[in-house]
């Protein structure tokens, strides 16, 4: 495991501990393991990251400050580009064993993270700083954790390789982007749980495939942010209405495209679980998302096939309720919107 993968795994564990705490079911044994790993970060992770060593002033950052930036980097890789409230960051580091008072000191207005430009902030009216301040890491901070770093000036070649993102033309454009991302997640699952590898370990391509899926999701989120009427998209309205997280959304679009594109109305719950898993540990951590107690099945969004009373919770096939499929594509019934080139092609016909 590379130092970066070790760091991201710890961030996965901290997110898991937060979820268990919010459920009122703290996992004390996992918390103890996470705290031991967190306090070994300097020797086992931070000292090994080439990108971090390339920044002259990064060596002055404390372990607490680096973990704050690492957690924000982890969230961006997962496609979540929303700012994080200071109180939430304090809680996350508390789960990793860092004193809350120490984290508050590092998040202060006159702290190094804010003074030296590692963090950008948004203050709330009449809010208490830094608890009620919203934080996001800057690109310079993100470059600490990615090999190659951000201290080197980009060349013309690397700049030309950066895709220029545009707003979505319409909801169908967005829908096909989700389809491509969902397909990447399927390939990622096949590499994470190969059936032909001794011991069942991930294939060597797995990390690359996982990063590809994360990059696609990040680009989708950025295109949505550029789209003026994105909040009116049926899928976005549905996601907000039922308070669906990223894993819920992926499970829903997986079932939607399985039915509409591939003609498979029912998909096994285990397959869905594998598709939403980014790590092998997720197979255990996320199983409740698709259980009868999970939001999707409890709200009737996802329906299980007929099963006996003695069946296991995940030993069943799942499908979207008909009303959900209708609601998700409710705005796609009209004629497609064509750009100028497509309109020219349409008016001129195919006989050219």
- Give pLDDT tens digits along the chain (352 positions): 677 777 888 888 888 888 888 778 878 888 888 888 887 887 777 777 777 777 767 778 888 998 999 899 888 887 777 788 899 999 999 988 889 999 999 999 889 898 888 898 888 767 788 988 889 888 888 888 875 444 444 344 333 344 557 889 889 999 999 999 999 999 999 888 876 555 556 777 788 888 888 888 888 888 888 888 888 999 999 999 998 888 999 999 999 999 998 888 899 999 999 999 988 888 888 888 988 888 999 999 999 886 545 456 677 899 999 999 999 988 876 544 544 444 454 444 444 4
Asked if residue 347 belongs to a domain, the reply is no
Predicted pLDDT of residue 158? 36
Q: Are 103 and 175 in a shared domain?
A: no
Q: Which of 119, 154, 189 is the last residue of a domain?
A: 154
Sorted by sequence, the CB contacts under 8 Å of residue 141 that are 6+ apart come out as 69, 72, 73, 118, 119
Please count the structural domains in the chain: 2
Helix (H) or strand (E) holding 238: helix 234-241
Q: Are 306 and 260 in a shared domain?
A: yes
Predicted pLDDT of residue 330? 85
Predicted pLDDT of residue 197? 52
Predicted pLDDT of residue 312? 67
Q: Are 10 and 101 in a shared domain?
A: yes
> CATH number of the domain that 33 lies in?
1.10.10
Asked if residue 288 belongs to a domain, the reply is yes
Give me the long-range contacts of 105-114 (CB less than 8 A, separation at least 24). 106/62, 106/64, 106/65, 106/68, 107/68, 107/133, 107/135, 112/60, 112/61, 112/65, 113/61, 113/65, 113/68, 113/69
CA distances from 125 to 83, 108, 122, 128, 130 (A): 16, 17, 10, 9, 12
Asked if residue 333 belongs to a domain, the reply is no
Asked if residue 164 belongs to a domain, the reply is no
Q: Are 150 and 183 in a shared domain?
A: no
Distance CA 102, CA 212 (A): 36
CB 154, CB 126: distance < 8 Å: no
133, burial (CB in 10 Å: exposed 0-12, middle 13-18, buried 19+)? buried
Q: Are 124 and 8 in a shared domain?
A: yes
Residue 94 structural domain: 3-154
CB 193, CB 274: distance < 8 Å: yes
Q: Are 193 and 320 in a shared domain?
A: yes
Q: Are 204 and 278 in a shared domain?
A: yes
Asked if residue 297 belongs to a domain, the reply is yes
Distance CA 216, CA 288 (A): 26
Q: Are 211 and 314 in a shared domain?
A: yes
Predicted pLDDT of residue 183? 92
Distance CA 283, CA 52 (A): 31
Asked if residue 103 belongs to a domain, the reply is yes
Asked if residue 58 belongs to a domain, the reply is yes
Q: Are 143 and 230 in a shared domain?
A: no
Predicted pLDDT of residue 311? 56
Asked if residue 161 belongs to a domain, the reply is no
What pairing do the DSSP bridges indicate for beta strands 119-122 and 134-137? antiparallel
Q: Are 207 and 238 in a shared domain?
A: yes
Predicted pLDDT of residue 308? 44
Predicted pLDDT of residue 179? 92
Q: Are 93 and 42 in a shared domain?
A: yes
Question: Rounded to the nearest 10 degrees, what angle do helices 63-77 and 86-95 cross at?
Answer: 110
Q: Which residue bears the tokens 């929303």?
A: 82
Predicted pLDDT of residue 238? 93
Q: Which residue bears the tokens 């895709």?
A: 163
Q: Are 150 and 187 in a shared domain?
A: no
Task: Please tell me the pTM assigned to this model.
Answer: 0.53
Number of C-alpha atoms within 13 angstroms, CB side, residue 242? 23
């Amino acid at each position: 495991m590379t130092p970066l993968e070790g760091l991201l795994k710890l961030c996965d564990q901290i997110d898991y501990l937060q979820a268990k705490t919010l459920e009122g079911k703290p996992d004390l044994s996992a918390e103890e393991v996470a705290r031991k790993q967190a306090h070994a970060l300097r020797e086992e992770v931070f000292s090994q990251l080439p990108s971090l060593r390339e920044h002259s002033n990064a060596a002055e950052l404390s372990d607490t400050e680096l973990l704050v930036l690492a957690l924000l980097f982890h969230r961006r890789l997962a496609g979540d580009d929303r700012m994080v409230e200071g109180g939430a960051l304090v809680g996350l580091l508390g789960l990793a064993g860092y004193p809350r008072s120490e984290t508050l000191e590092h998040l202060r207005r006159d702290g190094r993270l804010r003074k030296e430009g590692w963090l950008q902030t948004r203050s709330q009216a009449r809010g208490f700083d830094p608890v009620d301040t919203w934080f996001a890491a800057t690109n310079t901070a993100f470059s600490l954790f990615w090999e190659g770093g951000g201290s080197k000036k980009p060349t013309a070649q690397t700049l030309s390789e950066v895709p220029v993102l545009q707003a979505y033309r319409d909801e169908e454009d967005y829908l096909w982007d989700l389809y491509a991302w969902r397909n990447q997640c399927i390939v990622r699952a096949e590499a994470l749980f190969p059936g032909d590898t001794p011991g069942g370990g991930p294939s060597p391509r797995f990390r690359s495939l996982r990063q590809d899926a994360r990059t696609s999701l990040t680009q989708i989120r950025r295109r949505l942010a550029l789209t003026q009427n994105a909040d009116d998209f049926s899928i976005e309205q549905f996601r907000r209405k039922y308070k669906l997280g990223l894993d819920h959304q992926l499970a829903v679009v997986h079932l939607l495209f399985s039915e509409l594109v591939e003609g498979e109305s029912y998909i096994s719950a285990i397959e869905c679980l594998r598709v939403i898993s980014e790590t092998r540990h997720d197979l255990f951590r996320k199983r409740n998302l698709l259980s009868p107690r999970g939001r999707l099945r409890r709200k009737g969004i996802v329906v299980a096939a007929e099963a006996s009373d003695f069946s296991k919770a995940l030993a069943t096939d799942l499908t979207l309720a008909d009303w959900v499929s209708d609601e998700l594509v409710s705005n796609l019934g009209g004629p497609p919107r064509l750009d100028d080139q497509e309109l020219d092609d349409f008016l001129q016909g195919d006989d050219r």
